[in-house]
Amino acid sequence: MTSRTMHREEPARRLFVVWGARGPGAPPPAGAAARRRGRAGARGRARVAALAWGVAVALAWGGTPARAQEGNGGGERDGAARTAPRSAGSPWLPRVRLDNDAYNFWLHPGHRTDEEYTNGVVLAVEALRAPWWGKRLGGAAPGCAASAQGEGACLSTQFSLAQEMYTPNLDRPPYSSPDWERERPYAAWLYVGAEGRRISARALRTYSLAVGVTGPPALGSLAQSIAHAITSKYTTRATGWETQVGFEPGVVLGVRQSLLLARWAPGGHGVLDLAPSAAVSLGNIRTAADLGARVRMGINLSHPWDPREWRGRGPWELQLQAGGRREYVAHDFSLDGTLFTTPTRLVTRVPTVSEYEFGAALRLRRLTVGWRAVTRSREYATGPARHAWSQMYSALEFH
């Protein structure tokens, strides 16, 4: 992943919303004034993030075509209607995702620090077909738009535009703070991505490619300046972007395999499923491998990734989810710097990192809203023992 926890096994037809800042493992700001700034900053970021999420939900709901809910007849349609293939002209499926520790609702606002992985934005669109890569990597399987339920594997294609930002402790400006060079660097990664998905009822395999830039062209300083200007009353001004990881073109290749190991759906109504996964990424931005699993339980659970299985579902579903993974990181630009330049700040990366998550989601016909919290263990020797961030997302089904 070039984007942290993209969760490739998420349903492919959703409009996601996520905005970011993490780091509860880091020590709270020193002094009463700093503590007040931390609490006020978290409240301000939470308000802005909640507003952005609400606007995205409203736009998504308002823009839904009247015919979008063809398959959600509450189980009343006959089997032929449920398994009939979609037309080759099936619409594109947009997503938006935002990450932010302002959504760490289990923490006191004063402990929701604005540092470490501080912001993540992903804009993506997926088509349920694979016109150019399907013959080479997809085994010539049909696009999911033209495939019927139970026919075997089908293919879809996703394109994305994304940005990630990382910052040290904003209360410790560079040059004037002792040992500031031993904190993680300011860093940003702006990229476009493409992903091919081979989907079946029992497995999901994704092939991904991300191409982008680090350094000033990644617009990290500009993005954070705009966000902090909007919430200037509540946030600490970021100083030190001149010390960020420098410019370098970046490329990351990735493969992820997920298996539906178990699924309990009495009467066709999903109640429980378990899906382990393994992934490898290779590139000058990030080189890593991981093993993990996710379990979901709820009422009327949709299939975790096969859009053909979503036809004929009931009008609503409720789910709880939990997961974890173990990751080996061989290179991370946000800690190691670029391949050709040494960053002003230099830390010792911890190669093995654990991650766990929990969350909940609700679907009402075409619209899904959800929340997920992710916590990672120490990523570098002088970093916090753990840091957390959360996702608020909204998803809209257009077919």
Concatenating the DSSP letter of every residue in 152-219 gives S-EEEEEEEEEEEEEE--TTS-TTTSTTGGGSPPPEEEEEEEEEEEEE-SSEEEEEEEEEEEESGGG-
Who has greater pLDDT, 296 or 106? Answer: 296
Percent of all residues in the chain with a pLDDT value above 70, rounded to a whole number:
75
| pLDDT class of 65 with cuts at 50, 70, 90 | very low
Helices (H) and strands (E) in the chain, counts: 5, 13
- Quick one: average pLDDT of 328-337? 95
Q: Which range (137-141, 284-288, 358-362) has the least confidence?
A: 137-141
- Quick one: average pLDDT of 147-157? 90
Among residues 171, 215, 219, 168, which one has the least CA distance to residue 346?
168
- Quick one: average pLDDT of 281-297? 98
pLDDT tens digits along 176-220 = 888 888 889 999 999 999 999 999 999 999 999 999 999 999 999
Q: Which pLDDT does position 107 carry in this prediction?
A: 85
Dist CA 142 CA 149 (whole Å): 12
- Quick one: average pLDDT of 270-290? 97
- Quick one: average pLDDT of 306-333? 94
Q: Which pLDDT does position 118 carry in this prediction?
A: 84
Residue 365 phi/psi, 5-degree rounding, is 55, -115
**Domain 32-396 bears CATH identifier 2.40.128.140:** yes
Domain map (residue ranges) of the chain: 32-396
Q: Please classify residue 226 by burial: count the beta carbons closer than 10 Å to its beta carbon, then call 0-12 exposed, 13-18 middle and 19+ buried.
A: exposed
Dist CA 129 CA 88 (whole Å): 8
| pLDDT class of 48 with cuts at 50, 70, 90 | low
Identity (one letter) of the amino acid at 333?
F
Q: Which pLDDT does position 44 carry in this prediction?
A: 56
Identity (one letter) of the amino acid at 263?
R
Give yes or no for residue 392 having a pLDDT over 70.
Answer: yes
Q: Which range (93-97, 165-169, 240-244) has the least confidence?
A: 93-97
Q: Which pLDDT does position 395 carry in this prediction?
A: 79
Dist CA 100 CA 117 (whole Å): 9
Who has greater pLDDT, 64 or 368? Answer: 368
Who has greater pLDDT, 168 or 56? Answer: 168
Q: Which range (116-125, 211-220, 225-234, 323-332) has the least confidence?
A: 225-234
Phi-psi region of 5 (alpha: psi -120 to 50; beta: other; left: phi over 0): left
| pLDDT class of 27 with cuts at 50, 70, 90 | very low
Q: Which pLDDT does position 95 carry in this prediction?
A: 85
Give yes or no for residue 363 having a pLDDT over 80.
Answer: yes
Residue 126 phi/psi, 5-degree rounding, is -125, 140
- Quick one: average pLDDT of 124-145? 84
- Quick one: average pLDDT of 165-177? 84
